[in-house]
Chains A and B, each alone.
Chain A
Amino acid sequence: MRSIERILTLAVIVAVLGLAAAQTTLTVWMHDHPPRVPVDEELIAEFMAENPDIQVNYEVIPVADFDLRLYTAVAAGRGPDLFNQATFALGQFRAAGALAPLDVEAAGFGSREDFLAAYSTGAEGAVFDGTPYGIPTELSIYACYSNDELWEAAGLSPAEDFPTTWEEMIDVAETLTVRDDDGNPVQRGFDFNWTSPIFVWLQFNPMVTQLGGQLIDEDEFEATIDTPEVARVMRYWSDWVNEHRLGGPQYTGSRDAFLAGELATDCSFGNWGVPQMEDAGVDYSIHPVPRWSDAVNDNGFDKYGYYYLVNAYADEDVQEAAWKLAGFLAQHPDRYFEEAGLFQPRVEFVESEAFQQNEIMPVFFEEMEKSFFSPRIPGFNEVADGIARARDRVLGGAPVEETLERADSDVQGTLDRARREAERQ
């Protein structure tokens, strides 16, 4: 009897040890977006139940800490196996060889073509040289929100009078602007977002693209800043501040000002801005971003996305398990949209009745389809700073052509370094 007990005990120990040895452990890092966390947790529990050989350690990192923790962890060789990161950082990660190419089979897509066909738009944001490196967790773009109360107070109808061109925007913004006795705006009609150099990419760059130009050539690592298209947009922004005195970096940031009722129109909110409008009690409507009257391209502001990415330094079996999990999570765009407000552009979701009948999403989706991603290069922040520096110089009175020539040279230095970084792979 005792020997049977011993054998059974031994068998249990061997089974437990064997299971532990066979289990693949995954570490997943996601930004702290509170509405998404319970969805992630529920789906991951479901995934682990279906895949008992995969153990998932899910970690939620505060947004403010995320990038620094991710970079330092990867540098120390202790980075997560699966993580979420934006298009802005993809160039740096990819150039460093830190991204594993998408394992389409493990992720359940069958082939690269099937993966790309599964998304209406946005999947291309993580494709480099034809190879996908990520699965979208969120696609976003800005549209223009009007504070309808302020518009009506100025005798304008947002539905009928919203400007379709940047030229018209000056007149409409002037009508909406309320000034003090000295002519300083106490309520602005519209203003660009000046709070961070990132908006050079998201707002300034697409205005150049509309004219057929570009700030840099992503493929050639070439600065194309000293061009007539960039000069025209730069003059528009400079005149906006200095000649028309309709706004500028000295005032409260556009998002805060809009929510406070001090700005009648803002074009730096995505679809995720709706809860903030409702909390602030703003009566709003949503409109496409204006184009130039002689626009060459019909794009809105630049779109951006977040993606499930897999750490190239992880073991192969871990990478495979990570893609399997990412593919599983990506099968639930309806839940992420309804419960967390995150838009994952899977074709079947975009074609669903729930999406089609949504009040605001068609405007954003139409803009996404027409628009581009900002360049995904190493040195993304440095180039943005270089262009913002040129913008500040022009606002301060420096001649446009001379400033752009200097900025072109400065940014080319950054791009030369970025090229060397990309070629080190």
Chain B
Amino acid sequence: MSQQSLPQGLASQPEAARAPRRSSLLRSRKWWGFAFVLPVVLFFGAFSIFPIAYGFYLSLTDFTLLRSPEWVGARNYVNLWHDGLFQQAVRVTIGFVLGTTVPVWILSLLAALLFFQRFPARGMFKALFFLPVLPSLVVVSIVWKVLLHPDGILTSMVGPIVGMSEINWLNSAVLAPWSMIIVQNWATIPFFMLIWLAGLSGIPTELREAALIDGANRLQAFLRVELPMLRPTAVLVAAVSTIQAFQGFILQYVMSPDKGGPADSTTTLALLIWKYGFQYFRMGEAAAISVILFLIILLVTFLQLVLGRADTPVGR
């Protein structure tokens, strides 16, 4: 800091006399900085860090809500290892994640590529395609529950093709998980399409044109030029859709019979946490499942980020 920039009066003082006051000013500014960020730190600590830490603590206790938690160490985790419901929920969740990630990535990218082209009334079609994202998932679930009634509109469309007059979309242990996957895809593909579109818009048109001039066809230009440049977008889409899928709860809670039925064929880990905690009063085990789900999501997201960070020839 030059003498000219110091406040009036301070510049005229001898160096030895100024030093302590300057450091006191800096200290004071530092504390003011802390003071300004303190509310956010406290908020984050109280509503993010503390619940996570408390949840982890509860996972090491026997807690039925009506009694104080009793320390049991890792017993809840050991019990879950042998718990049939937990194993079933893991299988259901894996199926739901596979069904609502890979198809979502591909179909949303294809939709984005379609809407990236110029054609008449593109804006209107894009808005219509985006509509499923606007209502809450609860509303979506209720509407689809009506559509998936055994005698509903979907049966009248599909029934004649498969030769059935009644289809138990939600009351068959075979069909119900597929119904959840279809509805989740329907509700989320438009959202990820928008993210892909943003990624496509960020690619300089010169690169695409240069590839075409150099003799590449449209498919080659997409695969060799655009797709590698979409890697950051792909990582985002993959991470967000995977996290959403692992947290699958609302569709299963609202649409399925007996909340996760029939025969627990739609009970995801997130729904099992709710059941264990608030229906069965096994809050310690519910917390243990939460911790496991948290770690799974953390690991999968970390892997996706690591894979997405790998160098590519285009990136250099």
Question: Is there contact, CB below 8 Å, between A182 and B264?
Answer: no
> Does residue B172 face the partner (Cβ distance < 8 Å to A)?
yes
A410 and B64 contact, CB distance less than 8 A: no
Closest to B257 in A: A249
Asked if A108 CB lies within 8 Å of chain B CBs, one says no
Which of B64, B173, B280 contacts A392 (CB under 8 A)?
B173
Contact A385 B262 (CB under 8 A): no
Q: A92-B64, A92-B66, A396-B263 are in contact. Are A250 and B258 (CB under 8 A)?
A: no
Please, which residues of chain A bring their CB within 8 A of the CB of B151?
A: 184
Contact across chains for A249 and B279 when beta carbons are under 8 A apart:
no
- The closest CB in chain B to the CB of A251 belongs to B150
Give the most central of B66, B171, B262: most A CB within 10 Å.
B66
**Is B65 in the interface zone, CB < 8 Å from A?**
yes
* A392→B261 contact, CB < 8 A: yes
CB neighbours of B168 from chain A (8 A): 250
State how many angstroms separate the Cβ of A70 from the closest Cβ of chain B: 9
Q: Is the CB of A180 within 8 A of B263?
A: no
Q: Is B65 touching A396 in the complex (CB atoms < 8 A)?
A: no
Q: Give B67 Cβ to nearest chain A Cβ, in Å.
A: 5
- Asked if B222 is at the interface of the complex by the 8 Å CB criterion, the answer is no
Render A359-403 as a binary contact track against B, CB cut-off 8 A, 1 for contact: 000000000000000000011011001001100110110000000
CB contacts (< 8 Å) of B257 on chain A: these are 194-195, 249, 392
Q: Is the CB of B170 within 8 A of A250?
A: yes
Residues 53-73 (chain A) with a chain B CB within 8 angstroms: 68, 71-72
Binary interface encoding of chain B residues 99-131 relative to chain A, with 1 for a CB under 8 A from any of its CBs, else 0: 000000000000000000000000000000000
User: Which B residues are CB-close (under 8 A) to A385?
Assistant: 258, 275, 279-280
Q: Interface residues of A toward B: which range?
A: 35 or more
Closest residue of A by beta carbon distance from B168:
A250
Contact A395 B281 (CB under 8 A): no
CA distance A392 to B256 in the complex (A): 13
Which residue on B lies nearest to A198, using beta carbons?
A: B258
**Cβ of A342 under 8 Å from chain B:** no
Cβ contacts A87-99/B at 8 Å (1 or 0 each): 0000011001110
Q: Could you tell me the distance between the alpha carbons of A182 and B66 in the complex, rounded to whole angstroms? A: 52
Q: Which of B149, B165, B171, B278 has the most CB of A within 10 A?
A: B171
Is the CB–CB distance between B64 and A388 below 8 Å? Answer: no
**B171 close to A410 (CB less than 8 A):** no
- Per DSSP, chain B at the interface is loop
CA distance A248 to B165 in the complex (A): 16
Q: Tell me which residues across on chain A come within 8 A of B262, comparing CB atoms.
A: 249, 392, 395-396
Q: Are A379 and B261 in contact (CB under 8 A)?
A: no
Q: Does A270 contact B (CB under 8 A)?
A: no
Asked whether A389 lies within 8 Å of B66 as measured between CB atoms, the reply is: no
Contact A249 B171 (CB under 8 A): yes
Asked if A74 lies at the interface with its beta carbon under 8 angstroms from chain B, I say yes
Give the CA-CA distance A96 to B66 in the complex, in Å.
Answer: 6
B66 near A197: Cβ-Cβ < 8 Å: no
Closest to B167 in A: A250
**A341 vs B149: C-alpha distance in the bound complex, in angstroms?**
35
Interchain CB contact under 8 A, A396 and B281: no
Interface positions of A from 27 to 73, Cβ below 8 Å from B: 68, 71-72
Tell me the complex Cα distance, A379–B280, Å: 6
Q: A250-B170, A389-B263, A396-B263 are in contact. Are A72 and B65 (CB under 8 A)?
A: yes
A75: which of B66, B170, B263, B280 is its contact (CB, 8 Å)? Answer: B66
Q: By CB atoms of chain A within 10 A, which of B172, B261, B281 has the most?
A: B281
Across-interface contacts of A251 in B (CB, < 8 A): 150
| Residue interface mask B172-183, A partner, CB < 8 A = 1 | 110000000000
Q: How far is the CA of A197 from the CA of B172 in the complex (A)?
A: 17
A196 CB within 8 Å of chain B: yes
Asked if A168 is at the interface of the complex by the 8 Å CB criterion, the answer is no
Residues from chain B with Cβ under 8 Å of A182 in the complex? 165-166
Query: B142-174: contact bitstring with A at CB < 8 Å (1 yes, 0 no)?
Result: 000000011100000000000001101011110
Chain A, range 218-249, C-beta contacts under 8 Å to B: 248-249
Q: Within 8 Å CB of B171, what residues of A? A: 248-250
Give complex CA distance A265, B280 in Å.
33
Evaluate contact between B279 and A71: CB separation under 8 angstroms: no
Enumerate 18 A-B pairs (CB-CB under 8 Å) in ascending A order.
Answer: A71-B65, A92-B64, A93-B66, A180-B165, A182-B166, A183-B165, A184-B165, A197-B258, A249-B262, A250-B149, A251-B150, A381-B280, A382-B280, A385-B258, A388-B261, A393-B263, A396-B263, A421-B64
Besides A71-B65, A71-B66, A392-B261, 5 new A-B residue pairs in contact (Cβ under 8 A), listed by A number: A96-B66, A392-B173, A396-B172, A410-B84, A414-B280
Chain B interface (Cβ < 8 Å from any Cβ of A):
64-67, 84, 149-151, 165-166, 168, 170-173, 257-258, 261-264, 275, 278-282
The 3 closest A-B CB pairs, nearest first, are A96-B66, A182-B165, A392-B262
